[in-house]
Structure 1
């Protein structure tokens, strides 16, 4: 089971432009296709083939049209055509970003194919999610996939099933809940209830599978939606228009009909970061991956229904990052290995922005070898956190964790350690500008 901070939040304004008509169709007799996915930081990553090139995409119910993050001139490889320049706006305090809109692209997801799909290629090099997730991610897809199928998301078994509306048969579901969906600018919303200071408050929330946090609420004193005194300030994620910061806390309970999650974690984003998101006046926040993954879900946009059933993740405890460290996979380290001894060479090789490499080996001498290992760098550090108080800094490269080389772990493995039990001791060896330094601290609750 995994417990993660939100790393990515994606909201895009793509609704002021004319869209060509296009549709996904499953090309088999059953008109149904099952696609395995990777669950990374509570986010769904699936393979998507575009114009004959296979890429990795996030499945994000919060976006209208597919977007490609064009770090390596992917659009040249994809041979996208019929382009026009537009500007997109999303979460964060930054400016709009430049993108190319392209039409008549061929998308293929398993046996599901669309021969006339619009897409957007974003060229901002800072919009690179691969380092934060530890695997290559080339883009996101949302509404255009969900509108054409009944979509089953089985978080516990990690697959998505796409079935045509004509062929889908609902067989009934014991212990399920059905909720009505409302749509605003092609994004799905659901009614829920939050309990804050013993007061039950009805809320309207975006279903946001593209966010890895639990719950976001927009503070509103008139409704009783307010953080209170027990909170800590934190980095919440990175949006299309920049980083998002806010307050983290807990609420008494979160409910979807009869399903209740007690002491659910919540984030209250700064108002300056969500001014765009609040264009929908009736919206009170978002439900993201760390809550969504606790259910197996069937989404039917045509009937405006979502069916949810508790799964094995439902009782997983909510927890925080108790180090205050946010890591990213940034380049590789050159490591000299001889027999069972490992000597670290204090250098980092920067790879292309969208690369998350596997270990590569350079044979130099029969007695030893030089290997390229992942370099995990501190990119965010919470103020007054155990790691900051111990003396760690943004830019430090983690070499060793509790006596073991960091390259023995995936980025997810390390992140999970940061969510460990209160009181657990952490000992980190880092590379700081060519110097090796060691820091020790205990995991503590940020609240």
Structure 2
């Protein structure tokens, strides 16, 4: 009976080893993990920057999940938009691998604009963070793409000379760590939110007192979507990011406009965020119970920090019917209807079928970028990339092409208002 009560209010791994391994997808430096809610299998983003789980209920999954709404609240996040209405639901059963919680709150949001799936190209039904991480020791193996969830009382640390351990501080149930940035030939201590739900490397808030500013070496860009709308700001690089012994050279940095981050700056000591493009260079242990995080370099550590050199941001924009052709072998037949094998006359009969394929639309376009200068526009539908149909690629694969080396030629065929158009441009480093 005591175990039953114990498991009601926290995640517990229910197997003999009290530990479980859960595979995830790494999309654009973000962790997409399978989550079962009330018996329904879904996909959630693991986001250390959120407290309660959020369900994007524009998908109308309330009925299948059998969730009950108890009250209405308003949430605010990054962006300059209004607060977002959400419905709180209680007593939901959450299951991630063998980790189960029988009494989990969640917040269902009905705003159709809050939809991560088009930006990532894979289904994402919600976000989960603090409630999972506070109950279990969570190991994130970015290189092999799996989580290991362990009941805290059973977790044992191994001796690791190649690891660095950091103390965590919490503000509104969100984790912060201390680091040092080399900027304008100065080493500046900073307190950073650990934000696994962000795909960038590093965000810094410009602050004259701290000596944090972009200087003259930057370009203006779309930075991402928050709960309260889009976020824009400057992008640049800093000389180095120091995480104790680990030093990342010339990492990307974004300086969001203050207009979009008023909510984030409520914690006055916060100087910015450390996000997916840094975290994915390590294998990470989150141990909220002991208020610490452990980092170990993995094979991604020395990867270059790259920028989008096209200026294009794509999103999945539904599906369309595409006619695919194939050939069927037909043997010539004699007058009696028998196969004429002696003459060896073989015919290939073309056959066609209609199949649904993904559609990719341009949703953001950086001013004065190579694509913008070439004439590409927002809302253009991408039909082909470098001569290959766009639907032959995943969204992530096309975006990876835009991050390749400067000087690479890109040929795009797009559809605009029912007219097919062709554009050519060369990738260019936006900081040159």
TM-score above 0.5, yes or no: yes
Q: Which has the higher contact order (CA 8 A, sep 6+)?
A: 1
Residues of 2 paired with 1:257 and 1:203: CA distance?
13
2:235 is aligned with 1:248: yes
Could you tell me which residue of structure 2 aligns to residue 37 of structure 1? Answer: 24
Which sections of structure 1, spanning at least 5 residues, go unmatched? 1-20, 341-364
Distance 1:338 1:29, change over 3 A: closer
CA positional deviation for 1:73: 1.2
Structure 1 residue matching 2:289: 3-state secondary structure:
coil
Structure 2 residue matching 1:151: 3-state secondary structure:
strand
Which sections of structure 2, spanning at least 5 residues, go unmatched? 1-7, 328-348
Q: 1:243-392 counterparts in 2 under 5 A? A: 243-339=230-326, 367-392=351-376
CA positional deviation for 1:338: 2.8
Residues of 2 paired with 1:190 and 1:267: CA distance?
18
Residues of 1 paired with 2:289 and 2:240: CA distance?
31
Structure 1 residue matching 2:152: 3-state secondary structure:
coil
2:410 is aligned with 1:423: no
Structure 2 residue matching 1:336: 3-state secondary structure:
strand
Residues of 2 paired with 1:82 and 1:441: CA distance?
51
Could you tell me which residue of structure 1 aligns to residue 5 of structure 2? Answer: none
Q: Which has the greater radius of gyration? A: 2
Corresponding pairs, count:
404
- Asked if 1 retains the 8 angstrom alpha-carbon contact of 2:325 and 2:350, the reply is no
CA positional deviation for 1:82: 4.7
**1:100-153 deviations in Å (ceiling 9; x for gaps):** 001100001111100000000001011011000000000010000011111111
**1:394-415 deviations in Å (ceiling 9; x for gaps):** 0100101111111110001000
CA positional deviation for 1:332: 1.4
CA positional deviation for 1:334: 2.0
CA positional deviation for 1:337: 2.5
The one of 219, 242, 261 aligned to 2:206:
219
Structure 2 residue matching 1:302: 3-state secondary structure:
helix
Could you tell me which residue of structure 1 aligns to residue 342 of structure 2? Answer: none
Q: 1:4-403 counterparts in 2 under 5 A? A: 22-339=9-326, 367-403=351-387
Moved over 6 A (4+): none
CA positional deviation for 1:78: 0.7
What CA RMSD, in Å, does the superposition of the two structures yield over aligned residues? Answer: 1.3
Q: Give the TM-score taking structure 2 as reference length.
A: 0.92
- Asked if 1 retains the 8 angstrom alpha-carbon contact of 2:326 and 2:350, the reply is no
Structure 1 residue matching 2:299: 3-state secondary structure:
coil
Could you tell me which residue of structure 1 aligns to residue 429 of structure 2? Answer: 445
Structure 2 residue matching 1:387: 3-state secondary structure:
helix
Residues of 2 paired with 1:338 and 1:306: CA distance?
53
CA positional deviation for 1:366: 7.3
Structure 1 residue matching 2:300: 3-state secondary structure:
coil
Residues of 2 paired with 1:274 and 1:255: CA distance?
24
Q: Give the TM-score taking structure 1 as reference length.
A: 0.89
Residues of 2 paired with 1:263 and 1:220: CA distance?
20
Structure 2 residue matching 1:284: 3-state secondary structure:
strand
Residues of 2 paired with 1:321 and 1:206: CA distance?
24
2:419 is aligned with 1:435: yes
Residues of 2 paired with 1:168 and 1:334: CA distance?
51
